[in-house]
Structure 1
Amino acid sequence: MSDTGQDGTAERVHCRVSDGVHGVRDSGTGLDREGYFLREGSLDRVSAPFAPVVAALRDRLAERFGPSRLTCAYLYGSVPRGTAVPGRSDLDVLLALSTGPTAADHADARAVEAELDAAFPQIDGAGILLCGVEQLLSEPERYDLGWFAACLCTPLMGEDVTSGLPRYRPTSLLARETNGDLSERLPGLQEKAAAARTDAERTRLTRVVARKLVRTGFTLVMPRWGGWTSDLTESAEVFSHYYPAHAAHMRAAARAARKPGADPELLDDLLNCLAPWLADEYLAVHGPKAPPQEP
């Protein structure tokens, strides 16, 4: 099988989990020697404080979902990257279900989140995303959810369904499909900021906004930089190299993404100064994300 890349060349379709040929990192880029993404996490990198959390997650997922419902569970974020900090890092999980998630599935996921959060003080909350296998492997999701699962997620249990997806490069197509939606999301984020009344609400929203802006800023320049990083500080620094006039704003966003607070002035600055410019620049450079297809 082959898949036609953005440049019109054929890319072989197979798993990105690199072997001895493709498994040598080009230092600092997150890519193999041929310029394709390497899967960034590994269960071997889960540090000792988080090992019992991951073990408990396995048990609860098996109990709540079972093999007939759960095709594959993935970890992503700092825990499988080995950079999680006890008491500060959250546990991020993606579940690929045999069919699209139901209301009961969402309720089970919320229950597992609450159980883990209550039982393990080393995590600052658990977050479980749900999708159906058909959606994950669909053509519209190939350069968004498919890429995310294939490159940024670590298989935890079940069958890794991403083995048939293409190998990925840090292209403008990937940038557009992963983060080309800022202009669409911005009005909703601004409305949420205006409606926030408590420090807890502002803190949560600041974290969401800051992370979104740092990721968008990084992927804006990702094809020029020619690599990948999930580190927020490094992402801001890479962006700042190409857009020094906006470096201070992006570095502030990276700090807020790591340690969010309830400062309404910072949130306003991010949403009404950095975000509108970034949304316009992203559209000019990469174009808009493809609209979702009707089910």
Structure 2
Amino acid sequence: MRSIKNIGRFCKNDHNGFIINDASLDKIDTRFFELIEKVIDTYRHQMGTDLHSVYIRGSIPRGLGIPEVSDLDTLCVTNKALKDLDLDWVNNAEQKLNKDSSCINGVEMSFFNLDDICNTKRFSIIPFMIKTHSVCVYGEDLRNQLPAFKADAALANEHIINLESNFVQAKEDLRGNEDKEDILDCCVWIMKIIIRAGLALVMEKEKQYTRDLYPAYEAFSRYYPEKKEKMLQALEYAINPIENTDELIFYLNDMGKWMIETSEEWLLLHNPHKERNGDLKRND
């Protein structure tokens, strides 16, 4: 069982308050290089001319990757619309990459269309992730074409607006589920959402952003000390997921009620007329 440690950090801001991307090729541990090359080769072989670029995001390009513990999260930008692509090969490719490498916990391959990435009329989490948390490892680097982002209401809104739907989906996925790995994946997924939503509730006061769980937990706890233990439990579940679906659903009903009520108050204050509809696919 992994112990909870004070690791991770807030993103740095520039003098105008915009988030600085601290990911770089130089920070990637050399032990991950061979796997990254295999991932790039897989994208190139399967995508051909439909492949625009590939990015690595998360802890590894920030120099925080832990061999055998960290995931290798990749973003593939495509020239063709996703509906016109055949992606039936992805699951088998991920399984093969995971089997062939012991240096990571798992490989995630995700796909986003170039036109959608470059359409920045409204806030979208993927352009944000490319701009602030990713490094380009193949193809044309889009980061300089994307706008700068701040730790503000627009960013907080992205982590709050679908929170209730996320809780509903998580409980639906857990009830009656006998697939151990799927239960563990769901546990990690929803707990990360809860912790990051907790940070989002206080983001405008903090004026800081992080995807790292411990500093997000600490920031939330400063403003909601009465919920500190409950958020600590979410952190424990995220680091050491459990198979007990009854225990997880009980927690989601308990902490979820408060989180949903508090997020609804936040949403009414910041965007009372906005409809909440989003992609509820599990991802990091």
Q: Write out aligned runs for 1:1-295 (5 A).
A: 28-66=10-48, 68-102=49-83, 104-139=85-120, 142-287=123-268, 291=276
Ranked by relative contact order (alpha carbons within 8 Å, sequence separation 6 or more), the top structure is 2
TM-score after normalising by structure 2: 0.85
Which ranges of structure 2 fall in alignment gaps of 5 or more residues?
1-8, 279-284
Q: Cα RMSD (Å) of the superposition? A: 2.3
| 2:10–2:212 Cα contact (<8 Å) kept | no
| 1:135–1:141 Cα contact (<8 Å) kept | no
Give the C-alpha shift of residue 128 in structure 1: 1.0
Moved more, 186-195 or 133-142: 133-142
Moved more, 242-251 or 107-116: 107-116
| 1:142–1:165 Cα contact (<8 Å) kept | no
Moved more, 72-81 or 134-143: 134-143
- Opposite residue 152 of structure 2, the aligned amino acid is T
Deviations 1:36-93 (A, max 9, x none): 0111321211112212111221222222223x21111111112112222222221111
TM-score after normalising by structure 1: 0.82
Q: 1:107 to 1:87 in 2, by over 3 A?
A: same
Moved more, 51-60 or 279-288: 279-288
Which ranges of structure 1 fall in alignment gaps of 5 or more residues?
1-26
- Opposite residue 35 of structure 2, the aligned amino acid is V
Q: 1:138 to 1:207 in 2, by over 3 A?
A: same
Give the C-alpha shift of residue 104 in structure 1: 4.8
Give the C-alpha shift of residue 237 in structure 1: 0.8
In the alignment, which residue of structure 2 is the partner of 1:11?
none
SS at match of 2:87: helix
Q: 1:163 to 1:178 in 2, by over 3 A?
A: farther
Q: 1:30 to 1:43 in 2, by over 3 A?
A: same
Counterpart CA distance in 1 for 2:170 and 2:132 is: 27
SS at match of 2:195: helix
